[in-house]
Amino acid sequence: MLWLQDGITWLLLPPEQSLAFLLADNGFDVWIANTRGTKYSRQHTSLPINSSDYWNWSWDELVAYDLPATFQYVQDQTGQKLHYVGHSQGTLVALAAFSKDQLLNMLRSAALLSPIAYVGQMTSPLATKAAENFVAETLYKLGIFEFDLKGNSVAKFLKDACNRTGIDCTNLLTSFTGPNCCLSPSIVNIFLDHEPQSTATKNMIHLSQMIRQGTIAMFDYENSDENTRHYGQPTPPVYDMTRIPNDLPLFMSYGGADALSDVKDVQLLLRSLQDHEGDRLVVQYRNDYAHADYVMGENAKQDVYEPLISFFKLQ
């Protein structure tokens, strides 16, 4: 059994190059989930999509509720343990869950592409400037609880940020992710037809906190009383990456040109895993890859997906 997060990300490439189809062709039962807030995952039973309550979450809630519920659903349907594939935020929620001993009884192994835990050294000019200028916090205070890059409010704020900071935002994908080596124009056009998807503004605040502070911790309410009410302590609890079990089979691949999953941040994560059993941790480094190459690169099949599939077959 294999579970991929998140939805449309894995279906952008042609079938003969798509990881989801390649896994299915190699005998895996593939399940694809949609992250909370995307247009494919909005059928809440009681909360309207335009309510502040609907968008009152960050990736903490994905760790605590969404990921375990989805794992449990797939295992209930199949009776088998899962291999997991995540990219970008999909790696963050998985690593956080593993560090809290969640999901491990339902997991066989995990593949993490462009792994994100620490982001304090990311080089994405647009992401870092947005964090430094508290763009997400400003939007939240204005009552904009859905962070939609295609929406007028967020687009205007980002345009203003580009103008103020002098960042060249004519190529928004590169400004966010780094200089991807291997994207065809047709794939980029398909990407722009479906992505980027919405998330909660609160989630963007949480990620901005991580960029500014260089830590991987739960959402900071920036008020000791409020933090105490939520966590029983005045500061947010930290997700301790050293608590990830040393015998958990992990495949990690990261890129030298990735501006979101920066090499220095990934190496900080790898230092947290330095006691991992040698044959249980496979690390691949692609010097020319940036963030989007891992899900849209024309040569990702032979560079990343085939080694990943071979790793799964050994588990």
- Catalytic residue positions? 88, 258, 291
Decide: 198 and 147 in contact? Cβ < 8 Å: yes
* Euclidean distance between CA atoms 262 and 264, whole angstroms: 6
Question: Exposure pattern of 199-233 as b/e (b: 16+ CB <10 Å)?
Answer: bbbbbbbbbbbbbeeeebbbbbeeeeeebeeebee
In the three-class reduction of DSSP (H, G, I as helix; E, B as strand; rest coil), residue 28 is classed as coil
Residues in CB range of 191: below 8 A, 6 or more apart: 12, 173, 292, 296
What order of strands is seen across the sheet that includes strand 2-5?
30-33, 2-5, 82-87, 107-113, 250-255, 281-286
